Each structure stands twice: as structure tokens, then as C-alpha cells.
Amino acid sequence: MFDYLRDPQEIYAKSFATIEAEAKLARFSEDERPIAIRIIHACGMVEMADQITFGRDVASAAITALRAGKPILCDAEMVRHGVISRLLPAENPVLCTLNDGDTHGLAAELATTRSAAAVEGWKDHIEGAIIAIGNAPTALFHLLEAIHDDRMAKPAVIIGMPVGFVGAAESKDALIAHANGIPFVTLRGRFGGSAVTAATVNALARMARDDDATPDGTLDRKKGGLS
């Protein structure tokens, strides 16, 4: 009935070829490029390349943490479920504390959102961890405050991509300005969400797991197949 491409390998190859042809990738380093490509692929917007911002050596810090088995701490279940567990190099735990304990009560006590209160549940896991915030600006603000006040140890990397109209852009600006030396990757402005955040984690996991990754961040089909 419809004439459309059906071969998964060809679809995959054409998708990345389109990104290479249309996105402005020249400003990214060799280590940043595969991460940027995966973010663009996840949202289908080549113009998003202009909004991607890296801080310090994100790839090397994340690879070291992931290979050491450090956890991935997520602000939302959608982010957690978007992480592809088979890509993780050391069976890294992927945690979301949003529904742990009396998060509602803690949020009321702290006069903040449940997502921000859930960050308090990261205290025992955060040192050297990968942070993946894709939904709640308040979670990113709360995390930055806790690290600044020395109430929490420093994670290895912060992926800060909350989405929305209230506080999203501002929280990401705060991350850029007050990362406190922590490597980070973010998307300026209102755009973000679970898909691009999980895609960023997965890109880093591919880099940590596979020394045979091709320059665009995809796996060599002869060695790792499509994923």
C-alpha cells in the first residue's frame, strides 16, 4: 500500500548519513561527536546540534565510571527504562528513587517537588555515579544545591536535560555556570526529555563497552551488530 524503506540496516545507515550531512558537527571533539549524533538521532532534529553543550571531558569520565560499575541515577522511570541494560559494560545498576519510601512526605517537608525530594535518595550512591536528569528542572536545581553545599558527594558526570516551560532552560543554564568542575552534557533551552537523556547514557555505554565503535558512535555490524 505504501512505498517505504523496510530494511533496518539501511534505515539505520541512512539516518546517520542524514545527520552527518545536515547537522553542524564540526565544533564537537572526536569524543563528543558520537554523543551529539545519538542525541540528534533520538530527537530527529539536526538543528539540536546548536543547543548541545559539553563541559570538560564527559566521555572519558563516563567511560571510567561505567567500566568501574558505578550506578546510573535517573530522575524519572521513563529515563531508567530507556537505558539499554545490555549495553552497560559492568552490569551497572540503573536507579530511580522517585517512588522509594515516603517521597511525597519528604517533598512536603522540603517544600519542593517529589522529583527534587527523590534526589535525596541518591546520597548513598552518588559518588562517582552517572546522573541522568531528563524531566524535572527541580531535580537538577536540587542536585546542584546539594553538591554546592557539600551535602552530597560529586558524581562522575551529570547529564542534565530536563524538558519544559518552567525552569528547564534556567536549570540547564545553572548547570553550565555551576557544575563545580563536574563533567556534564546538556541541551540549552526548553527542549530535553527522557528519550534524549537515555540516548546520551546509551551513547556513553556504547563507548565504554566497545573499543570497536565506529566514529559515528554506531557499532561495527560485523562485530556488534545493530543495536
Active site residue 41: yes
Q: Which helix (H) or strand (E) holds 206?
A: helix 194-209
Catalytic one of 41, 142, 148, 178: 41
At 110, list the grid cell.
522540603
Cβ–Cβ < 8 Å for 140, 161:
no
How is 113-176 classified by DSSP, letter by letter?
Answer: -HHHHHGGGGTTT-TTPEEEE-S-HHHHHHHHHHHHTTSSPPPSEEEE---SSSSHHHHHHHHH
Cβ–Cβ < 8 Å for 140, 175:
yes
Cβ–Cβ < 8 Å for 135, 193:
yes
Which of 189, 145, 182 lies closest to 163, judged by CA? Answer: 189
Cβ–Cβ < 8 Å for 130, 201:
yes
| Residues carrying an active site annotation | 41
